[in-house]
Homo-oligomer: A and B are copies of this chain.
Amino acid sequence: MNALPDTASPLYEKVKDYILTNIGAGKWSKDRKLPSENEFVAALGVSRMTVHRALRELTSAGFLIRLQGVGTFIAPPRPQSTLIEINNIAAEIVARGNRHRSEVLVLERITPTKELSLSFEFAKRPAIYHSVVVNFENDLPVQLEERFVNPSLIPDYDKQDFSKTATYDYLMQKTPVTEVEHIISAVPADAETARHLAIDIGSCCLLLHRRTWTGAVVATISKLTYVGSRYSLGSRYSPSRKT
């Protein structure tokens, strides 16, 4: 009668199975529309909310594309976006079998510049935390990390001893990251950076600029400068399709 599989799973899962199976069987051709929610209701004898949930979950899983006012379509095979994995520098150094050490240069509470406040998407200009740390691999400086931290999310940031705990680990543990923005560029070292990293002014450095969000709130802004001749970011990644 209603064509749904006879399993113990909840109804919306049966509807998902039914739709996926029929997509696999080519019941609805690649570029044509799937039945509307109301048509599924009539065909399967379940409520529209249940059909809607099934379709919504299949959409967020990438199988379908839905356009309000238009209909539901089979998603094209997804393009493989090339992803690079950025690891915690301390962990990476240790993983290579080398010795890691941090030196805290600055750990303070400051009033942000107008520009920085803008990056935090603040309406007002509350005080924020500011840290500058140099990371060493076998006593050779390889990375200068400057971080600005939102105190409303991480209140005790300036009380920590970041020569013991990596800033990265502390932040990851304190607040969930819901979104990350990265900008990678290559820049010549300025005078201050060169001094901290013990390199010549103008040497090539890898600059990783990162913003993280927790919900709608900017949690941290980081500027990570790697010495080009001493460090590179590496990763090996298997793009795997879900479900």
| Cross-chain contact A238 with B80 (CB below 8 angstroms) | no
| Cross-chain contact B214 with A185 (CB below 8 angstroms) | no
Expressed in whole angstroms, the minimum distance between the Cβ of A208 and any Cβ of chain B is 9
**Provided the pairs A26-B155, A83-B86, A215-B16 are in contact, do residues A206 and B184 lie with their beta carbons within 8 angstroms?**
yes
Expressed in whole angstroms, the minimum distance between the Cβ of A241 and any Cβ of chain B is 10
Binary interface encoding of chain A residues 25-44 relative to chain B, with 1 for a CB under 8 A from any of its CBs, else 0: 11000000000000000000
Within 8 A of B (CB), among A151-200: 152-153, 155, 172-188
Is A98 on the interface with B (CB-CB < 8 A)?
A: no
Within 8 A of B (CB), among A63-96: 63, 77, 79-87
Binary interface encoding of chain A residues 4-47 relative to chain B, with 1 for a CB under 8 A from any of its CBs, else 0: 01010000000011111101111000000000000000000000
| Cross-chain contact B26 with A77 (CB below 8 angstroms) | no
What B residues does A124 contact at CB under 8 A? none
Interface size of A in residues (CB-CB distance below 8 Å): 67
Given A184-B233, A188-B228, 6 more contacts at CB 8 Å? A7-B216, A81-B87, A82-B85, A179-B238, A185-B231, A204-B205
17 A-B pairs, CB-CB below 8 angstroms? Answer: A16-B215, A17-B215, A21-B216, A24-B219, A63-B178, A77-B172, A81-B86, A83-B85, A179-B236, A182-B234, A185-B206, A185-B231, A186-B205, A204-B204, A204-B228, A242-B243, A243-B243
